[in-house]
Structure 1
């Protein structure tokens, strides 16, 4: 246990009481949850970040749009400092206002597809006013946000970390007790290839979950896309030749990102993490650049959501080229079909 968790340990019972009281209110009064007027599909975690919600949300959004199902994404916009709330996020929106993950999703999905707000109900209302053709909403990181009713609750579990030590914050990584997994309609195990014992996960789901289906999916890094200079050639992955690099990220689960890079043939000469939704300042990046040159890294690699936050001052601090690692979902076809079927059933019952 880290020293910070040890010092915060006396707060654990209080945190547990607050979470239990909040959940009890919604359990006893389901009508407290606002309704969006459209089917809502929620994706979220029991634990703190790092399960891969963003690529899974994008995968579902892109798959539904390709099937002719008009969807938009609702997000808290963590880390954004907005002048207006709720806010529509477009590809040219400022990530400093919207937050990094909404900016990334807007860049992939296009205009009028991502909406952020402290109240996701208000964000949903803005989405419907902006796009009257919407057929469904995807609620990003919504498992704990019970103030908005959802019609399908998808729970993500990281296949490498699973449920950690099984303890709630601040002693562990769980946001709420494991038995609350019963609220989920289905379990999505990400990075499934790293699960050592699938039967243990299945037993955990039988004990704590709802009995809904389990979907086993993975991620792969498709290529390194140039950020600076933008006209450099992309590097397909996996790379068979030696590819020394300095990688950095602002993720809740940085070890998974670094492991993915190594698995794709990248030799990490240095690696740095700045905490979830955080990143280096231009001065820090300048110092990292000098270190990268010293160790012969040859290039920088960051995640897609880190790249959207970079300013001209950041790029001016670099002498080495910068790439972003494009992550894609493997084995998500059954999950997409499940969501499409549930949405079709909801519309048929409407």
Structure 2
């Protein structure tokens, strides 16, 4: 967005920010009630900015850590992009159309070991999960930073290194869902998608900028991505491992880090079919993609996109396409993992008050 257009849109941003500030004030002062759940710690992961800040892999890290500690977590999401409404528990027949691409990805990643559900009303969703699974010991809320109707035991705020919230404006002049002051609700801030070579001096400068908006003493941690080997997408014509020449298919908010990784890994991207975040792929689009391929070439995509490519309506178009997804894991920099564990562990002590 040009600087002139940003300036022209700022009055609308101030109006929207004021509306959101008023809403937050109602919850902060108790004039609007927020549900609490003394039965289990509720852990919220979210952001201030519209678009991809790495919520899904960070939620996966958190769920995996809980499992490793012997906890029994559940994952609750709104289910953005689904064509259903109300509470819905993920099961094997579900697709991205019924529960959303990110919940489907999480359900597949944990192979049903973790209850995954979607609900627009997170409080009602938590109560339903607790009725269905009375032995749960934690509920992880995905993309719930602005969902003030639930008061979490721990609120995790994510922001990208390349697009930090403190350099952005509220919609429509920028991409923030609320003002930068919203960072004060965070119990920990994680700067995501960092350059692995980010220096301590650069991290200190970022901490200072975030410290202008976060509460005093709130930890600011840094994470980066670790990319895995390509994984065949079920139902596609995958044989040998991908060669050096590939076509890339994405329907995510920020495909830049993936493209940077592919270049560094020695892949030559011949064509990038880029679609908006949560895009519902159509057979005609896949046929156009197939036309870009030559013998020995394949399609590389993300794990979230792969979840949407499993729609039954796409099966015929996918059958002859060699498609792989690139898995992503979160890696914390410096002592970030230890510090996050120090915040989490007390929530599961017998004396903890949630």
Give the drift of 1:118. 0.6
Residue 232 in structure 1 maps to residue 239 in structure 2: yes
TM-score by length of 2: 0.88
The equivalences for 1:288-307 within 5 A come to 288-293=289-294, 298-307=297-306
1:179 to 181, 184, 193: 181
CA deviation after TM superposition for structure 1 residue 189, in Å: 1.3
Change (3 A) 1:157 1:280: same
Output the CA distance in 2 between the equivalents of 1:342 and 1:56: 20
Give 3-state SS (helix, strand or coil) of 1:271's partner. Answer: strand
- Equivalent residue for 1:46, pick from 42, 45, 48: 48
SS in 2 for 1:223: coil
1:239 maps to none
User: What is the alpha-carbon distance in structure 2 between the residues aligned to residue 278 and residue 10 of structure 1?
Assistant: 31
Taking a change above 3 Å as real, the CA distance of residues 132 and 264 of structure 1, as seen in their structure-2 partners, is farther
Moved more, 196-205 or 244-253: 196-205
Q: CA deviation at 1:218?
A: 1.1
Structure 1, 19-28 or 9-18: larger mean CA deviation: 9-18
* Segment of structure 1 superposing worse, 329-338 or 84-93: 329-338
Counterpart position of 2:224 = 218
CA–CA separation in structure 1 for the residues paired with 2:118 and 2:127: 11
Q: 1:344 aligns with which of 331, 337, 348?
A: 348
In structure 2, do the counterparts of structure 1 residues 171 and 154 end up closer, same or farther at CA, with 3 Å as the change threshold?
Answer: same
Report if the CA contact (8 A) 1:249-1:279 is conserved.
no
How many residues align structurally?
A: 341
Partner of 1:101: 102
1:273–1:148: structure 2 CA closer, same or farther, 3 Å change rule?
A: same
Structure 1, 8-17 or 306-315: larger mean CA deviation: 8-17
**SS of match in other structure, 2:308:** coil
Q: 1:335 to 1:321 in 2, by over 3 A?
A: farther
Partner residue in 2 for 1:308: 307
Over 4 Å off, 4+ runs: 2-10
- Give matches, 1:251-270, under 5 Å: 251-270=252-271
Q: Which moved more, 1:91-100 or 1:151-160?
A: 91-100
For CA contacts below 8 A with separation 6 or more, give which structure has more relative contact order: 2
In the TM superposition, what is the alpha-carbon distance from 1:140 to its structure 2 partner? 0.7
- Check conservation: 1:90, 1:110, Cα contact below 8 A: no
Could you list the runs of 5+ residues in structure 2 that have no partner in the other structure? none
Residue 25 of structure 1 corresponds to 26
**Cα drift, residue 297 of structure 1:** 7.9
CA contact (8 A) 1:90 1:113 kept: no
- 150, 154, 157: which one pairs with 1:155? 157
Q: TM-score, normalised by structure 1?
A: 0.89
CA distance in 2, matches of 1:74, 1:5: 35
Unaligned runs of 5+ in 1: 236-241
Is the CA contact (8 Å cut-off) linking 1:43 and 1:141 kept in structure 2?
yes
